[in-house]
């Protein structure tokens, strides 16, 4: 009997290699063969970038090397340790791994050691003696419970689908890590931008209040008109409103950064002094490569591909449901009416029960499951192609903006210098009685606007570099192994 069971299991292993899943053909990337040409500055030279990582693919640049600001590095490290979204992603991996282990267990038979005792009573009316009969039986042995002989690859296809889902979840967690690094950096840079603009507004308000006091003195002695006084007062009130707005925006930026970091910022010890935006030497000379490189670099594309593999495998399982299903149930052991006779000669017993299940009429259930699997595969194809297109657009947008932003910053810096000279000349003309105070007030207004615009342009350039780094698959590698905590 053991020989027959062994031969049956070996036959199941040989025939289990059959699969009805269609051959998976990865769709071609529905994008151009190359990225759009990066915009070149029109006659204004871009500032030199650090040469340490020049020409290195984004995926090979650790985030500690990409973000040299030690304060930002501390925030990113804390986010990787404490962010709740990243913890959720880690737990999703554990969940998918457990589901795969459950599904893969069906590939092998389940053996159980069983022992039991049964006691029964037969009424006297049912036997010749006319007296009730009490019987006791003892059993011990091994049992094989409903092991399916996977002739048509149904179980194997389900196992492949579960494995692909696990791998997709793992890739999705990597994509979440990359996004967390980028979003933390962008939130930190936004907070620094509001801090710099707030300081400019504070200095501007202080200067305008001094100017307003002088205007009051001139008005009181009749050296200026009420219009000049009101103009100065308007500038002071406008500066106060701007200062309050920037204070609110900075506080909200701190809240956003705190949420990403996952803990109060003041609980992170040994933080160095913050660097200004102009001192953020973020790498921006990153080669884009070819769109086909994104298939390897970006975890979200790899996750979409694994979801496609899983959906394709489910087609094989749905097709196999149309064919007969054979399962084995067997038991081998000893049995006796007395506990002392369990292992005596002649007490061995066995049972073997193969079962054939042949679908005949199911009201279209199997066909509906097959149609559903095929539709889901088509949806997975569309999702895969859309993920590639989204990645292509993100890289293209970052590349297109990179050259223009360099030119914008240089032009805006020149505007600031020109406005500062204009204010100096207007103030001299006013003191010499050549022009009115309105020219000075207008020059102050324009200088403050130019200073704010320069800070905003610097923020745009830095966030664009972060977006390019993320869209090219950077942010996963680190020089220190910051493991996600799933507790």
pLDDT (mean) for 283-287: 82
d(CA 82, CA 261): 6
* Statement: residue 189 has pLDDT above 90: yes
d(CA 323, CA 199): 75
Tokens of 308: 């496609």
Write the burial class of residue 226 (CB in 10 Å: 0-12 exposed, 13-18 middle, 19+ buried): exposed
- Which segment of 195-199, 212-216, 296-300 scores lowest on mean pLDDT? 212-216
d(CA 138, CA 339): 6
Write the burial class of residue 481 (CB in 10 Å: 0-12 exposed, 13-18 middle, 19+ buried): exposed
- Which segment of 123-127, 176-180, 260-264 scores lowest on mean pLDDT? 123-127
Largest CA distance in the chain: 138
> Can you give the pLDDT at residue 7?
52
Write the burial class of residue 480 (CB in 10 Å: 0-12 exposed, 13-18 middle, 19+ buried): exposed
Cβ neighbours for 3, distance < 8 A, ≥ 6 positions apart: none
> Can you give the pLDDT at residue 17?
53
pLDDT in tens, 80-133: 999 998 889 889 999 999 988 888 888 888 888 888 888 888 887 777 777 888
Tokens of 392: 């292509």
d(CA 440, CA 298): 54
Q: How far is CA 456 from CA 48, 69, 408, 449, in A?
A: 20, 19, 11, 11
pLDDT bracket for residue 48 (50, 70, 90): very low
Question: 402 or 340: whose pLDDT is higher?
Answer: 402
Q: How far is CA 107 from the centre of its chain?
A: 32
- Which segment of 50-59, 183-192, 392-401 scores lowest on mean pLDDT? 50-59
Q: Which of 391, 389, 371, 390 is nearest to 311 (CA)?
A: 371
> Can you give the pLDDT at residue 483?
38
pLDDT (mean) for 318-341: 83
Local structure of residue 481 (DSSP, 8 states): -
- Which segment of 101-105, 291-295, 415-419, 429-433 scores lowest on mean pLDDT? 429-433
* Statement: residue 74 has pLDDT above 90: yes
Tell me the DSSP string of 314-366: HHHHHHHTTS-EEEEEEEEEEEESSGGGTTSTT-EEEEE--EEE-----TTHH
- The answer to whether the CB of 257 falls within 8 A of the CB of 187 is yes
> Can you give the pLDDT at residue 227?
82
* Statement: residue 316 has pLDDT above 70: yes
Question: 214 or 342: whose pLDDT is higher?
Answer: 214
- Which segment of 48-52, 153-157, 169-173 scores lowest on mean pLDDT? 48-52
d(CA 154, CA 340): 45
Local structure of residue 111 (DSSP, 8 states): E
> Can you give the pLDDT at residue 1?
47
- Beta carbons within 10 angstroms of residue 121's beta carbon: 8
| CATH class of the 2-109+151-330+365-471 domain in this structure | mainly alpha
Domain segments of the chain as ranges: 2-109+151-330+365-471
Question: 222 or 14: whose pLDDT is higher?
Answer: 222
d(CA 84, CA 159): 30
Q: Which of 100, 109, 103, 104 is nearest to 12 (CA)?
A: 109
- Which segment of 62-66, 200-204, 218-222 scores lowest on mean pLDDT? 218-222
- The answer to whether the CB of 460 falls within 8 A of the CB of 277 is no
Q: Which of 164, 169, 160 is nearest to 21 (CA)?
A: 160
């Amino acid at each position: 009997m053991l020989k027959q069971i062994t031969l049956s299991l070996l036959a199941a292993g040989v025939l289990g290699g059959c699969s009805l899943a269609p051959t998976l053909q990865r769709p071609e990337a529905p994008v151009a063969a190359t990225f759009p040409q990066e915009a070149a500055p029109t006659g204004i030279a871009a500032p030199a970038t650090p040469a340490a990582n020049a020409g290195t693919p984004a995926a090979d640049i650790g985030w500690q090397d990409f973000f040299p600001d030690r304060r930002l590095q501390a925030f990113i490290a804390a986010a990787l340790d404490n962010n709740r979204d990243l913890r959720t992603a880690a737990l999703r991996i554990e969940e998918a791994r457990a589901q795969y282990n459950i599904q893969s267990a069906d590939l092998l038979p389940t053996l159980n050691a069983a022992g039991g005792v049964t006691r029964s009573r037969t009424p006297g009316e049912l036997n010749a003696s006319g007296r009730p009969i009490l019987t006791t039986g003892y059993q011990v042995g091994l049992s094989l419970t409903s092991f399916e002989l996977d002739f048509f690859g149904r179980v194997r296809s389900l196992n492949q689908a579960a494995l692909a889902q696990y791998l997709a979840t793992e890739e999705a967690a990597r994509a979440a890590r990359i996004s967390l690094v980028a979003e933390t950096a962008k939130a930190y840079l936004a907070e620094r931008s509001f801090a710099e603009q707030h300081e400019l507004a504070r200095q501007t308000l202080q200067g305008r209040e001094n100017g307003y006091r002088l205007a009051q003195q001139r008005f009181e002695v009749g050296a200026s008109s009420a219009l000049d006084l009101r103009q100065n007062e308007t500038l002071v009130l406008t500066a106060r409103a701007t200062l309050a707005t920037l204070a609110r925006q900075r506080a909200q930026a701190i809240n956003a950064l705190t949420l990403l970091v996952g803990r109060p910022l003041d609980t992170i010890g040994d933080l160095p002094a913050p660097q200004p935006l102009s001192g953020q030497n973020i790498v921006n000379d990153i080669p884009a490569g070819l769109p086909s490189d994104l298939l390897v670099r970006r975890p979200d594309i790899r996750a979409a591909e694994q979801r496609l593999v899983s959906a394709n495998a489910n087609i094989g399982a749905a097709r196999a449901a149309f064919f007969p299903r054979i399962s084995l149930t067997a038991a081998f052991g000893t049995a006796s009416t007395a506990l002392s006779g369990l292992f005596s000669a002649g007490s061995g017993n066995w049972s073997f029960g193969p079962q054939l299940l042949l679908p005949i009429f199911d009201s279209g259930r199997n066909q509906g499951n097959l149609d559903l699997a095929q539709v889901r595969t088509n949806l997975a194809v569309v999702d895969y192609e859309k993920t590639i297109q989204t990645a292509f657009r993100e890289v293209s947008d970052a590349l297109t903006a990179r050259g223009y932003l360099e030119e914008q910053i240089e032009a805006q810096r020149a505007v600031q210098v020109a406005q500062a000279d204009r204010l100096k000349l207007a103030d001299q003309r006013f003191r010499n009685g050549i022009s009115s105070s309105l020219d000075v007030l207008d020059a102050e207004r324009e200088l403050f606007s130019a200073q704010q615009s320069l800070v905003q342009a610097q923020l745009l350039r830095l966030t664009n570099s972060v977006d390019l780094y993320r869209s090219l698959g950077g942010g996963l590698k680190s020089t220190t192994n910051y493991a996600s905590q799933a507790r």
